């Protein structure tokens, strides 16, 4: 009889996972399952499915090499029921364990499922905290009670103090908590970007690629050129490459965008962090060490650590303290359908076609492309939150609901009424022009503010402010911009509204 059945999910591929911490290879069995419910609950980008399945199969192999018995159910196994709960029930029948141990899942949907296991299976089920995060779900809830999570910035400072990361004698290194002012440069002409590390598929990955090509070829996204790391060893190589070749310049050009440059100086590590090939602790500590060793400047290292210790932990905390109601809010009452260009329909907007094209090719776009181009457009156009949330969940290799949802629902769409960010990140075309070279080759005119030839971001921006004046007009962080709107004449406002209507609904052009 098996002592313990240890259930490991596809985003828990970490050898030090809490569910495996006291694993006894002589008496225990690790269960891993590829189920249709997970590959198909949204139409994931094929590269995302291939990454997760290949990384799962490699992880199982690594455990087996260490003498662990792994019961692994593949997607195309004939008896596969394609549900976590049913596969667990089948495995219980096969192995007759005395108890089940798992680590809490990343998503509410799976958490709800897990909570029924003990009564459904009539067996002790221990669900352990996921200690791969700096801030546990309980800890975050306590910080909420202590009023320390109102804004990411205060939470982040608290986390810096607690971890001692980039702290010197109790004070932030360099005498400031952030160096954002240094991190908003546009790319200078002629600056070379590093050649990014890609990984050649081995036999396991090739088999997965064939499976994915056969089953999911109608999902948005290219599978060719798949080059993600699928083992811990490869992910560590990718991290070393980032630390050495990209981190020193990461801060300066963190917000920059350039035609044909899909990655710039970004980490490309979110998929590895999110499925467990890398841990947040090791990534932050290595970046801080690069600063201590004089290999990367403070503005870069602090900017990078803030994304992980600050934003990543903060959005997870928001997700778990606000769900399940979080997803229901629609503060701005946005109702429009997601435009077809998000699925690759042709558009003359250069910025949108660049960002969506990169997404299709790579299952990746960097933060500013997600926030200030595709996100900004959805916000200004008033796309229904559920539709744009689903898009982000489908198209990125790193997309898991706990991190995707607060970023889209809160940061981009302001649908939570300001729980995550104090104001929407709305911007007109001039922001995109400042941070990229997209506008230079765009068919639309950035200078024109309304009319058929004008950059749509220009009139959509003002139209958004007009349409949401009752909800945002009193927001003290938007005082200046509403001041400018109020100086516009009635005729100007009408022209803006007519242009927005013509563009979005196909009305007459002014
Ligand atoms: C609309 C929108 C949707 C997003 N959806 C996801 C998602 O589904 N999954 C995901 O991991 N990230 C998401 N992000 C955050 C961020 O865009 C990605 O983490 C980042 O682009 C990943 O690329 P990178 O590893 O090159 O990041 P880098 O720019 O190198 O940043 C380093 C790391 O910081 C973390 N990070 C940075 N920003 C955030 C953030 N806002 N929230 C959480 N972690 C952050 C990531 O782990 C990332 O790997 C989203 C952001 C926006 C605006
Ligand atoms: S002009 Fe407007 S639509 Fe064209 S690339 Fe610039 S911001 Fe995008």
Please write the tens of the pLDDT for every residue from 266-312: 999 999 999 999 999 999 999 999 999 999 999 999 999 999 999 99
485-505 pLDDT per residue, tens: 999 999 999 999 999 999 999
Is the per-residue pLDDT at 160 higher than 90?
A: yes
420-452 pLDDT per residue, tens: 999 999 999 999 999 999 999 999 999 999 999
**From 432, 445, 452, 453, mutation site for ligand 2 pocket: most ligand atoms within 8 A of C-beta:** 432
Ligand lying nearest the CA atom of residue 456 = 2
Secondary structure (3-state) at 3 = coil
Best CA proximity match to 52, nearest among 215, 206, 228, 262: 228
Alpha-carbon radius of gyration of the chain: 24
Is the per-residue pLDDT at 26 higher than 80?
A: yes
pLDDT of 39: 87
d(CA 503, CA 459): 10
The protein residue with its alpha carbon nearest to ligand 1, atom 22, reads 270
Q: Give residue 71 CA to ligand 1 midpoint distance, Å.
A: 33
d(CA 471, CA 468): 5
Per-residue pLDDT band for 61 (boundaries 50, 70, 90) equals very high
Is the per-residue pLDDT at 413 higher than 90?
A: yes
Mean pLDDT computed over 8-17? 98
455-473 pLDDT per residue, tens: 999 999 999 999 999 999 9
Sheet hosting strand 69-73, strand order edge to edge: 69-73, 29-33, 4-7, 99-103, 125-128
Per-residue pLDDT band for 149 (boundaries 50, 70, 90) equals confident
Alpha carbon separation from 65 to 60, 189, 234, 239, 377 (Å, rounded): 9, 50, 17, 24, 49
The protein residue with its alpha carbon nearest to ligand 1, atom 37, reads 307
Is the per-residue pLDDT at 2 higher than 90?
A: no
Per-residue pLDDT band for 506 (boundaries 50, 70, 90) equals confident
Per-residue pLDDT band for 385 (boundaries 50, 70, 90) equals very high
378 lines ligand 1 (CB under 6 A): no
Secondary structure (3-state) at 355 = helix
411 lines ligand 1 (CB under 6 A): yes
Long-range (24+ apart) CB contacts under 8 A made by 16-24 are 16/132, 16/279, 17/103, 17/132, 17/276, 18/103, 18/128, 18/129, 18/130, 18/131, 19/101, 19/102, 19/103, 19/128, 21/128, 23/68
**From 446, 450, 458, mutation site for ligand 2 pocket: most ligand atoms within 8 A of C-beta:** 446
CA torsion, ordered 67, 68, 71, 74, to nearest 10 deg: -70
Is the per-residue pLDDT at 507 higher than 80?
A: no
Q: What is the mean pLDDT of the chain?
A: 96
pTM of the model: 0.97
Best CA proximity match to 269, nearest among 257, 258, 259, 284: 284
């Amino acid at each position: 009889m098996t002592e313990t059945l240890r259930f490991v999910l596809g985003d828990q591929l970490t050898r030090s996972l809490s569910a495996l911490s006291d694993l006894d290879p002589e008496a225990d069995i690790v269960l891993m399952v590829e189920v249709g419910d997970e590959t198909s609950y949204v139409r994931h980008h094929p590269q995302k499915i291939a990454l997760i399945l290949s990384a799962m199969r490699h992880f199982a192999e690594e455990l087996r090499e260490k003498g662990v018995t792994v019961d692994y159910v593949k997607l195309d196994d004939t008896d596969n029921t394609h549900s976590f709960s049913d596969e667990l029930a089948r495995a219980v029948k096969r192995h007759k364990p005395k108890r089940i141990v798992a680590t809490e899942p990343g998503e509410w949907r799976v958490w709800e499922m897990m909570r029924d296991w003990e009564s459904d299976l009539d067996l002790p089920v221990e669900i352990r905290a996921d200690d791969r995060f700096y801030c546990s779900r309980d800890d975050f809830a306590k910080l909420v009670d202590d009023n320390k999570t109102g804004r990411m910035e205060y939470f982040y400072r608290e986390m810096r103090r607690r971890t001692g990361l980039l702290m010197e004698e109790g004070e932030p290194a360099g005498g400031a908590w952030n160096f954002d002012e240094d991190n908003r440069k546009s790319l200078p002409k002629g600056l070379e970007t590093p050649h990014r590390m890609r990984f050649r598929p081995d036999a396991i990955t090739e088999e997965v690629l064939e499976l994915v090509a056969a089953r999911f070829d109608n999902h948005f996204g290219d599978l060719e050129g798949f080059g993600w790391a699928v083992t811990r060893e490869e992910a560590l190589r990718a991290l070393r490459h980032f630390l050495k070749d990209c981190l020193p310049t990461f801060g300066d050009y963190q917000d920059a965008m350039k035609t044909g440059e899909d990655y710039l100086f970004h980490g490309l590590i979110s998929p590895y962090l999110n499925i467990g090939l890398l841990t947040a602790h090791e990534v932050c500590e290595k970046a801080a060490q690069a600063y201590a060793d004089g290999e990367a400047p403070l503005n870069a290292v602090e900017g990078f650590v803030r994304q992980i210790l600050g934003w990543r932990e903060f959005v997870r905390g928001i997700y778990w303290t606000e769900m399940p109601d979080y997803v229901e809010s629609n503060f701005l009452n946005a109702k429009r359908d997601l435009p077809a260009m998000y699925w690759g329909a042709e558009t003359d907007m250069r910025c949108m076609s660049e960002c969506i094209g990169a997404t299709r090719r790579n299952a990746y776009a960097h933060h500013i492309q997600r926030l200030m181009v595709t996100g900004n457009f959805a916000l200004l156009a008033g796309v229904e939150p559920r539709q744009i949330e689903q898009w982000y969940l489908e198209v990125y290799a790193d997309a898991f609901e706990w991190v995707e949802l607060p970023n889209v629902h809160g940061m981009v769409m302001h649908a939570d009424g300001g729980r995550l960010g104090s104001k929407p990140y709305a911007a007109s075309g001039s922001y995109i022009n400042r941070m990229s070279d997209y506008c230079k080759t765009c068919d639309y005119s950035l200078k024109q503010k309304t009319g058929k030839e004008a950059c749509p971001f220009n009139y959509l921006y003002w139209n958004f402010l007009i349409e949401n004046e009752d909800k945002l007009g009193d927001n003290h962080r938007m005082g200046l911009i509403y001041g400018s709107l109020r100086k516009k004449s009635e005729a100007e406002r009408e022209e803006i509204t007519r242009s927005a209507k013509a563009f979005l609904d196909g009305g007459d052009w002014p």
